[in-house]
Amino acid sequence: MSNKIYPVDVLSINAKQPLQELIFGLKNLLLSLRGVCQKGTDEEKNYDELVILFHRLRNPDFLLHEDSLVKMTVACCLGQLLEVLPFTSFPWDDEDLVVLLNFFIKQLEYFGTSDDVIFKYCVILLKILSKTGIFSGLFMCLRYTTNKENIYDAFLLTVCMAVCTRSDISMAETYIVQLLKNFINNTKYTSNKGIDIILSSILQENIEKHPAMYHVAVKVIRSCSRALDFPIRMLLLRGLQEDGIPVQTRIGGHEFEVMFELHHICPSLLVGVWSQLEVFLLDSLDSSKKKIALTLLAHMFSEEDSDFAFKYRRLWNSFKLCVNDSSSFGRSLIVSCAPKFLINQPDLCQDIIPILQRRSCDSETTIRFGVVKAINKATKMDLNVLQHPALFDILKKSFCDKNEIVLKEALVTLGLIYRRITDSKYPSMMRKAMWIANTLMHLYTSPYDLNIYIPHIEKVVVKCLVPCELPPERRMKKLLQLWCLLDDESRSSFHHIQELKKRAYEAVLRLLSLYQGPSDVESSTNQLVWKREMLAGKISLTMGNQKEVHQRLVLLTKELAENQRLLNFLQEYVNETNSCEDYERLWSENQDVVSYTSQTKKRSLTSKRRVLKQESIVLTVKNLCAKVGSFLVDQVALKELLKLVIKCVSSRDIAEDLHLAGEMAGKLAIELLYEFMKELDTDSEHYLTREVAVGQFATHLPNYADTRCISYITDLCHKLCQKSVLEDLEDESCDGPDWYEKDSLPYRTKCKVVALKALTRLTIRLREPRTTERTLTILSKIVENGGAYSNTNSLSAATKAWLRLTAGCSFLKICDVPHVYAKQVKKIYFFKMAALMTDESEFVRRMFVEKLRQRLMQWEQQRYGLPSTFLSYFVLAGMEQDEDVKSCMLHTLNLCVQDKRQQVWSLVCVTRLFKSTSHLLTRCQQAVPEFCVQTALQIVARFVFDFASETSVHQAHECLSFLLNSLLSSKNGNFGLLATDFYVKLFALMRSCRNAVNPEDEELNKKIWATCEIGEYLLSTVNPAVNNDAEAPGPIIDEKFHILDPSIDKTDIKYLTSDIETLLNKTVAPQLVSYTAVSAAAAAAGDMVVDYKFCLWPA
């Protein structure tokens, strides 16, 4: 054929050509034809050439070519030609059109191919066919209906299947939608099968499989709503009116689902269909169509932002009648859809809630149970539904239901609602949370053995109100929040929960202890079984519904004898050292033990009984575990609770975070702390935790203005700690050891020690005179009574020794606070604590001296430490009989004096706050170590000297020698040393004073004056020529310990008897001779370093 029929620059092509040449020629032809289409042509001769080209390409050699790419390119060329050529240019007949249309349809199947080249040309073909009504124009040229129907169905099926076979159609989605839109709108023909193909694409099962096809179908239906209106309506009506569409159709039996989807896609298509649903709703029988229609309407009415109920009010009224009739399906349906109605349709709640109220009194248990579940689900999705108070009325009726399953679900729902409210950011709903908490607690009332609510409430507590799975900090916040929401009656129930838990705990421990060892004697075995059943009865008294629970517990006692794994689990679970985390871990690790699942559905009667028995045992175990874990406050959790209490009483941040009233949160928080602490008795492993918690509470107690709260805390802590200290209930053997190491202290002894420390911390933190006085009274009485507050012999020697030591160390800690020591500590306690320097226990003496050293020597930490007055305690070290201990005390005294001298040097020479030691002595006497001599004299007079004993004179002389030896020794440095004249003046001044503690005690005053005389004799042994260069300022009397009485002058009165004076003279004389000889020898040798150490009384 001539080349002139082809466009310019396009070579002649032939189906017989080699494949590559043919493909190359067809591609060039397609490019040329696209150029012709863009330029356009009005010349008839060009039409003729293109018509000839069209017929050439329609040749079967091209249409039936074996290569897919050749056929795809030919289809694109034919499409381009049809875009230019008018349809009147061809004498069409049905046979040729069917061949050509089938050819196009066949090429569209390649849309799902994996060949990228062919797919590219397939997209080009789609683009060509979708531009104009090419395909629909050819379809309209068909004359026979059969051909039209076949082509119509084949075209829609091919396009839909091609879209389904490809996951990503983003490149061609627009062309596909446009092609289908033009075809459906322009053909003015419809086929049930074709419509069925499109509608099947919006079924839920196909949406999940082919989401791309669903999007295409939605767009096509919306674009072709006018063309599809009548056929879709007729198709659905025929399926609804008859007994379903024939099986071969794709939407057979899914008409209601299609209606549901069409309602969202194009509601106008269903205008005439809803009337048919009313016919189904009026049917008195529960037909399948009626059930499906009710389900469809329930979903459509309850959808979010749906106005369907208002557009079709008659349909809505018919629906309400159906769900309220005797039909079980309708009543169940409205209950199952109730959450969606409550959440999505607030305007319909006025119709739905009365229906739920009637259903909550339904005769069927499953429906009543469903109502409670519906409220639970609705509140889980949106708490705002609780604005309808009728929902709480429904729950209130439900937990009074005669069926235990409904009752339990109502209680759990209330607990979950409480948890959602407290976890949410809706402070306005806290009143509802308060109502829930108090309602649950009010149900926990006596008689407890007949209260069926007890096990369910305890489960609600550990799962919802105070969830055990939460970390300690969050769990204690929940606990504190719950306590603050409870009223007085509920707090009483809270207390009873703790009591019942404790009783159950003790009974369970006793029960498990009966399984420790097997019994070989039949009689003892029977007795053992009887004891187990008796304990089961005691446990049942704490768990409600006594008769039924007792039967289950008896089964459990028998099971424990055979099931070792269950026994081991319970023994681990009831261990008092467990924390909440341990409970959760044990529960999760032993699910195979605490759960039971039947493996067979068909069982014999014996098998069924065995299953029921096993389920009863598992239920009992769960109830026991819930009781054990309810409101658990372990050692870690109690510390977190303590922090929360401190924050509550110091600021309102926690109260605001928990949506509580700030003015009451602090007081209620302390009450909660007390509630748990008072339940800890001396037999509890957590008893020590209480004392530690009080001590920490006292340490971190913040400053705040509410003095009433301070008083409340003080009374609370003193009451708790004094109970531990004051009650000497131990009954220990007198043959026990005299001392325990700290790590080996008996538990009760440790509790007493920690309680004393807690009292001390509280006293220091509050700094209140009344509190300080109460604490010091306790400490001094313990020391006076030898370690026991009450003068009993029920405590061991080691326990008493530790209590004496702790009391002394606590006193030093209190006196280390300058304000407390100066203003609140009575000086009588100072002298009572000095007795520890001569304690009967060597360990107490050593450790007290070491603690005294630590409190005195704090200058390196830039703290003054204890006043120098406390150096006077060392004067009693002169009575120490053990040479090692005495040597240790002397070394400690020298270190303490050296530290005080360092303070004096820093104050005078570094900071230059004082001009000299004399200036310092007039302004800050407590910094000068020599200031301790005044109180040392009174200590010797109180504890050592006695007019009727010559031995006491020797001891007094030795005690004063021990102290003055360290003060006058050059080993401590020359700076700050005072001359012996200072001491002479001091002793003379002291003889004109009375003791300030008991001024009217003349006997004590005379002893003090006599002790001064012994000191004067002692000073006579010092060479007066040695330290004449040292300062000798005028002494100043410490008015806290001594009262200067200038009205009398006793300096010339001697209180020592002549025998005692003679004895002292004999003692002093050889010492003076010894010192004279030493001084002379040293002077002759030129060595001026002299040790003025006193000669101790000879053995």
- Give tens-digit pLDDT for 91-146: 677 788 888 888 888 888 888 777 788 888 888 888 888 876 777 777 878 878 88
**Burial, 833: exposed, middle or buried (Cβ in 10 Å; 0-12, 13-18, 19+)?**
buried
59 phi/psi in degrees, rounded to 5? -60, 140
Q: In the predicted model, is pLDDT for residue 906 greater than 90?
A: no
Which residue, 259, 253, 227, 219, is CA-closest to 239?
A: 253
Residues 808, 830: Cα–Cα separation, whole Å: 10
Orientation angle between helical segments 747-766 and 769-784, nearest 10 degrees: 150
- Calculate mean pLDDT across residues 298-303: 82
Residues 863, 324: Cα–Cα separation, whole Å: 84
Which residue, 794, 808, 712, is CA-closest to 753?
A: 808
Residues 560, 982: Cα–Cα separation, whole Å: 84
For the record, the structure tokens of 52 come out as 């000839």
Q: What is the pLDDT of residue 705?
A: 35
Q: In the predicted model, is pLDDT for residue 813 greater than 90?
A: yes
**Residue 1056 binned pLDDT confidence (cut-offs 50, 70, 90):** confident
Residues 641, 654: Cα–Cα separation, whole Å: 12
Residues 649, 766: Cα–Cα separation, whole Å: 14
pLDDT, tens digit (0-9, with 9 covering 90-100), for 756-795? 887 888 788 778 888 889 889 989 988 988 887 776 667 7
**Contacts of 539 by beta carbon, 8 Å cutoff, 6+ apart:** 504, 507, 508, 511, 549, 553, 624
Q: In the predicted model, is pLDDT for residue 7 greater than 70?
A: no
Q: What is the pLDDT of residue 763?
A: 83
Q: What is the pLDDT of residue 615?
A: 73
- Calculate mean pLDDT across residues 580-606: 62
Least confident range from 178-182, 704-708, 983-987, 996-1000: namely 704-708
More confident residue, 358 or 2: 358
Orientation angle between helical segments 933-943 and 1002-1019, nearest 10 degrees: 120
Residues 118, 72: Cα–Cα separation, whole Å: 7
Residues 903, 214: Cα–Cα separation, whole Å: 91
Residues 829, 763: Cα–Cα separation, whole Å: 15
Most confident of the ranges 424-428, 811-815, 945-949: 811-815
More confident residue, 1040 or 418: 418
**Residue 608 binned pLDDT confidence (cut-offs 50, 70, 90):** very low
Torsion of CA 970, 976, 982, 984, to 10 degrees: -20
Residues 677, 82: Cα–Cα separation, whole Å: 95
Q: What is the pLDDT of residue 994?
A: 85
Q: What is the pLDDT of residue 502?
A: 78
Give the SS3 label for residue 723: helix
Q: What is the pLDDT of residue 1051?
A: 57
Residue showing tokens 């007039």: 922
Q: What is the pLDDT of residue 721?
A: 63
Identify the DSSP state of 1087: -
707 phi/psi in degrees, rounded to 5? -70, -25
Q: What is the pLDDT of residue 918?
A: 64
Q: Give the H/E segment covering residue 748.
A: helix 747-766
Least confident range from 411-420, 868-877, 996-1005, 1084-1093: namely 1084-1093
- Calculate mean pLDDT across residues 341-359: 87
Q: Are strands 993-995 and 1042-1044 parallel, antiparallel or unpaired?
A: antiparallel
Peptide bond before 447: cis, by omega within 30 degrees of 0? Answer: yes
More confident residue, 579 or 792: 579
Residues 323, 330: Cα–Cα separation, whole Å: 4
What percent of the chain shows pLDDT beyond 70? 75
Residues 169, 609: Cα–Cα separation, whole Å: 61
Most confident of the ranges 418-422, 535-539, 1019-1023: 418-422
- 490 neighbors 441 (Cβ within 8 angstroms): yes
Q: How many CB atoms lie within 10 A of CB 734?
A: 8
For the record, the structure tokens of 882 come out as 């053990």
pLDDT, tens digit (0-9, with 9 covering 90-100), for 365-408? 899 999 999 999 999 888 888 888 899 899 888 888 888 889 98
Distant-in-sequence contacts of 644-652, Cβ < 8 A, 24+ apart: 644/476, 644/477, 644/480, 644/669, 645/480, 645/669, 645/670, 645/672, 645/673, 645/697, 646/697, 646/700, 646/701, 646/702, 648/480, 649/701, 649/702, 649/704, 649/706, 649/709, 649/713, 650/702, 650/703, 650/704
Handedness of CA 915, 916, 917, 921 (dihedral sign): negative
**Residue 829 binned pLDDT confidence (cut-offs 50, 70, 90):** very high
Q: What is the pLDDT of residue 811?
A: 94
Which residue, 26, 115, 136, 17, is CA-closest to 75?
A: 26
Most confident of the ranges 839-843, 863-867, 1020-1024: 839-843
When the pLDDT of each residue in the chain is averaged and rounded to a whole number, the result is: 76
Q: What is the pLDDT of residue 27?
A: 84
**Residue 652 binned pLDDT confidence (cut-offs 50, 70, 90):** low
Handedness of CA 1073, 1076, 1078, 1084 (dihedral sign): negative
- 371 neighbors 361 (Cβ within 8 angstroms): no
- 924 neighbors 977 (Cβ within 8 angstroms): no
Residues 605, 613: Cα–Cα separation, whole Å: 12
For the record, the structure tokens of 480 come out as 């504190």
- Calculate mean pLDDT across residues 609-615: 61
Strand partners, 993: 1044
Q: What is the pLDDT of residue 921?
A: 65
Q: In the predicted model, is pLDDT for residue 543 greater than 90?
A: no
- 845 neighbors 836 (Cβ within 8 angstroms): yes
Least confident range from 332-336, 478-482, 719-723: namely 719-723
Q: In the predicted model, is pLDDT for residue 808 greater than 90?
A: yes
Q: What is the pLDDT of residue 836?
A: 92
Residue showing tokens 């099968």: 193
Orientation angle between helical segments 950-968 and 933-943, nearest 10 degrees: 160
Q: In the predicted model, is pLDDT for residue 835 greater than 80?
A: yes
**Contacts of 414 by beta carbon, 8 Å cutoff, 6+ apart:** 395, 399, 436, 439, 440, 460
Q: In the predicted model, is pLDDT for residue 242 greater than 80?
A: no
Orientation angle between helical segments 211-223 and 145-164, nearest 10 degrees: 140
For the record, the structure tokens of 596 come out as 């039971």
pLDDT, tens digit (0-9, with 9 covering 90-100), for 946-957? 877 878 888 888
363 phi/psi in degrees, rounded to 5? -75, -20
Q: In the predicted model, is pLDDT for residue 1092 greater than 50?
A: no
Largest CA distance in the chain: 165
Q: What is the pLDDT of residue 262?
A: 80
- Angstrom CA distances, 566 to 329, 559, 562, stand at 43, 8, 9
Handedness of CA 330, 331, 332, 334 (dihedral sign): positive
Q: What is the pLDDT of residue 197?
A: 80
- Calculate mean pLDDT across residues 57-73: 83
What percent of the chain shows pLDDT beyond 90? 8
Q: In the predicted model, is pLDDT for residue 1075 greater than 60?
A: no
Strand partners, 978: 1031
pLDDT, tens digit (0-9, with 9 covering 90-100), for 272-292? 677 777 777 766 666 777 777
**Residue 720 binned pLDDT confidence (cut-offs 50, 70, 90):** low
**Residue 305 binned pLDDT confidence (cut-offs 50, 70, 90):** confident
